[in-house]
Structure 1
Amino acid sequence: MDQRDQRDQRDQRSTNPFTPGFGLTPIILAGRAGAIEDFTAALKGNVPEARAILISGARGSGKTVLLTEFKELALEAGWTDLRVHTSSSSLVDELRGTAIAQLREQDPDAESSRLTSARVSGTGASREVRQRYEGEQEPLTTVLDRLAALTDQDGGGLLITLDELQSVDRDQLHALTQHVQDLIGSGHAVAFIAAGVRPGVDALLDHERTTFLRRAHRIEVGSVDVGTAAEAIRMTIADTRKSITPEAAVLAGEISQGYPYLIQLIGSKSWQSCGDADTIEIEDVHGGREAVVAAMIKNVHRPALRGLSARKREYLHAMLLDEGPSSVGDIAERMNIDPRNQSTYRERLIEEELIRPAGRGFVEFSLPYLAEALRHEDRAGVGADVEPDRGVQRSHRARRSTRP
């Protein structure tokens, strides 16, 4: 190993290993071993019916991370990824463009040439080069079938991925899945993976033209148990120059409540809090809790609560009077409505993943720190900053003016 490699390795061991951003892949995946094992088997052809996958869950639960992990597993197995985006004006046109780009790379006949003239002495000649996929006009079905045949020969397959499924145009989705079904029907190795927020995905599946997705293998991602969260935090730190005490790891897992986004966030804040110390102690984890709660309110709860009707908001606030799960009868009494009428708000809030059933006649908040978000609204008003900006800093203009 040369000096540069050694320096890079030291830098990596000294860098904060946590990734508390949405969609960023963490070093350690918590609670996803079963899903990954099933998809690995599906790629090998052991369970081909599990090649059509629909991932759903709340914001920050790890949907995009799992989709990305599946994609990487497929690429390692020699599959070709055709990613399409819900923001595209046409999913089918984007799929065509991506498929043709792959054909230009993979098709040995993508470029051909023919002799157009030659001198009698044979010392010179000119040739015409033809790009097979220049201005491709063949139907998309033909293009995909040709690409699928090439990947089949190499022992791979075609992987089509689509994130943020809840935002997709239904007619475009129907057209896209028709092509997927045609490829499967032709005997090609094809996998289709889509991911989206559960309420939007559920609404999409109610549409009559989403039969293919209804038959897909459904993966619901959510929180893991606190012990798994603590172990994920410990293992993430293990490959760095720092360590974490067992008590600190357990506290970090408890603060995260097993929510994937918060696992990364409390790990990152704890790492920052310990500074240059070699060991993350329990007080370092304590020091990061306030920032973790503030980030959860700002990045997850505020978008979910925005636009919530006054009556549904009142339902949630009625639950704040209870330490644990709330009785639906008590909620109705606090809202001064007939107990039978509260079920309408209850079902809608469950669909929006703000609350969940907690035994017969009881409900509870479905995501960590939602109660804190509601109490913050009571104190500061709807939409108020959770964590005001603090401190002063010289601007780049001031720094330039003081240079010698």
Structure 2
Amino acid sequence: MATSSSTPSTTGHGPHSAPHGGNPFTPGFGLTPMILAGRDVAIEEFTAALAGNVPEARAILISGARGSGKTVLLTEFRELALDAGWTDLRMHTSSTSLTDELRSQAIARLRELDPEAETSHLTSARISALSASRDVVQRYEGEGEVLTTVLDRLAALTDEDGGGLLITLDELQSVDRDQLHALTQHVQDLIGSGHAVAFIAAGVRTGVDALLDHERTTFLRRAHRIEVGSVDVGTAAEAIRMTIADTAKTITPEAAVLAGEISQGYPYLIQLIGSKAWQHSGDAETIEIEDVRRARDTVVAAMIKNVHGPALRGLSARKREYLRAMLEDEGPSAVGDIARRMAIDPRNQSTYRERLIEDDLIRPAGRGFVEFSLPYLAEALRHEEREGVGADIEPDRGLTRSHRSRRDPRPR
């Protein structure tokens, strides 16, 4: 796993870096942070793959839970490839046809890169008038060339430039399996032809695992698998400190440690606690421990609403009962105790256990024990018990005049 490093990477190529005067944290999903925590090994391996040292690592499958940094890592890989002179084609699972999108993007790149994309030939000349007329032909207009030919030409041009061709696909779990097979078949053909080609896909772990069970996903099963997740608390605290160090503010060591503890090393929470603590510090030059303490409740509420809420909303009553049975324990829960609390045969609890593990809601914690897999899931379940399934953490309050009312000239 790429999350085992104890020192956060200082690499950050993404387009969302904040200026020195603004809040440097990026708690939105998919936004690239200024400091990538615990991704050193993955970045080093992909850099080596781009250079041709380990070409087998150019096919990568990134998976993990929501908010664990899958899209961020995919974006970082893409930026590394672009810096190395590669050409990228970004596929989208919302496309009606992945192969049609692949062809469209490849042709757009060929129009930019191919010196023979536009040709002309003399059709007539008049010596007395010193004039001539020529026909200009756009090579990549219409549907003249088949996708295989288009991709081979593009890959050859990127090879000549000393780079390669990168194809990326995010939200892999949502893709149509037959379309994915067609896409990866073209990738395999390019690799088999000797071109420098990289393919990176990212998706939610459970959806990716289900996809890989399909008989037509052999290429992805052979891909280099990167499972992203939480980092250790010390790395989280250092990532927060380093992010703030690039600004005009500072953070006390105690505040950084507390922020790392509140984040529990979860990438989304690292950005969120840093952002909220920054906001609470106001115009002060230093973020104090009290700023972090004041941010905790807001951070937990956002985690419950944005991560746990969607996951729990569609959960079956029996799975929810299993999770609530775990609330009686401060640490890991014994599966025998869970079965007793649910009043079911201990052998039958394994069905719910396995399904909840597949849902990324719990994980094994030693022989005969399980624990919640994501931070603050216990708080989310207790909130459900108090307020009901699907209830917001806090009701929206306050009244604000709309733009329309502020433009309305009528007296008030």
- RMSD of aligned C-alpha atoms? 1.3
CA distance in 1, matches of 2:385, 2:369: 24
> Secondary structure of the equivalent of 1:161?
strand
CA distance in 2, matches of 1:201, 1:401: 52
- Alignment of 1:146 with 2:153, yes or no, is yes
> Secondary structure of the equivalent of 1:146?
helix
Which residue of the partner structure matches residue 190 of structure 2? 183
- Pick from 379, 383, 403: which aligns with 1:396? 403
> Secondary structure of the equivalent of 1:70?
helix
**AA at the equivalent of 2:273:** I
Q: CA deviation at 1:403?
A: 10
- Pick from 134, 159, 167: which aligns with 1:127? 134
Q: CA deviation at 1:79?
A: 0.5
Which residue of the partner structure matches residue 310 of structure 2? 303
CA distance in 2, matches of 1:101, 1:73: 22
Q: CA deviation at 1:393?
A: 2.4
Q: CA deviation at 1:401?
A: 4.9
Q: CA deviation at 1:126?
A: 1.4
Q: CA deviation at 1:135?
A: 1.0
Change in Cα spacing, 1:88 to 1:281, as seen in structure 2 (3 Å) is same
- Pick from 224, 227, 230: which aligns with 1:223? 230
- Alignment of 1:267 with 2:274, yes or no, is yes
Q: CA deviation at 1:82?
A: 0.9
Per-residue CA distance 1:139-176 (angstroms, 9 max, x = gap): 21111111111111111111000000000000000011
- Alignment of 1:81 with 2:91, yes or no, is no
Unaligned runs of 5+ in 2: 1-17
Mapping for residues 229-268 of structure 1, pairs under 5 Å: 229-268=236-275
Q: CA deviation at 1:396?
A: 2.6
CA distance in 1, matches of 2:294, 2:399: 22
Which residue of the partner structure matches residue 37 of structure 2? 30
- Alignment of 1:200 with 2:173, yes or no, is no
Which residue of the partner structure matches residue 286 of structure 1? 293
- Pick from 309, 326, 332: which aligns with 2:339? 332
CA distance in 2, matches of 1:81, 1:303: 32
Which residue of the partner structure matches residue 211 of structure 1? 218
CA distance in 1, matches of 2:402, 2:218: 56
Change in Cα spacing, 1:254 to 1:403, as seen in structure 2 (3 Å) is farther
Sequence identity, in percent?
85
Per-residue CA distance 1:42-74 (angstroms, 9 max, x = gap): 000000000000000000000000000000000
> Secondary structure of the equivalent of 2:363?
strand
* TM-score of the aligned structures, taking structure 1 as reference length: 0.96
> Secondary structure of the equivalent of 2:201?
strand
CA distance in 2, matches of 1:171, 1:92: 11
- Alignment of 1:158 with 2:161, yes or no, is no
Which residue of the partner structure matches residue 98 of structure 2? 91
Which residue of the partner structure matches residue 170 of structure 1? 177
**AA at the equivalent of 1:79:** W
CA distance in 2, matches of 1:309, 1:288: 33
**AA at the equivalent of 2:69:** G
Which residue of the partner structure matches residue 348 of structure 2? 341
**AA at the equivalent of 1:83:** R
Q: CA deviation at 1:398?
A: 4.0
CA distance in 2, matches of 1:216, 1:400: 57
Which residue of the partner structure matches residue 47 of structure 1? 54
- Paired positions, count: 394
Which residue of the partner structure matches residue 69 of structure 2? 62
**AA at the equivalent of 1:185:** G
* TM-score of the aligned structures, taking structure 2 as reference length: 0.94
CA distance in 2, matches of 1:393, 1:287: 25
CA distance in 2, matches of 1:400, 1:206: 57
CA distance in 1, matches of 2:75, 2:231: 19
> Secondary structure of the equivalent of 1:269?
helix
Which residue of the partner structure matches residue 136 of structure 1? 143
CA distance in 2, matches of 1:255, 1:387: 20
- Alignment of 1:357 with 2:361, yes or no, is no
- Pick from 313, 319, 322: which aligns with 2:326? 319
Q: CA deviation at 1:394?
A: 2.9
**AA at the equivalent of 2:277:** S
Per-residue CA distance 1:181-216 (angstroms, 9 max, x = gap): 000100000000000000000000000000000000
Q: CA deviation at 1:347?
A: 0.4
CA distance in 1, matches of 2:338, 2:193: 56
Per-residue CA distance 1:205-238 (angstroms, 9 max, x = gap): 0000000000000000000000000000001111
- Pick from 13, 24, 27: which aligns with 1:17? 24
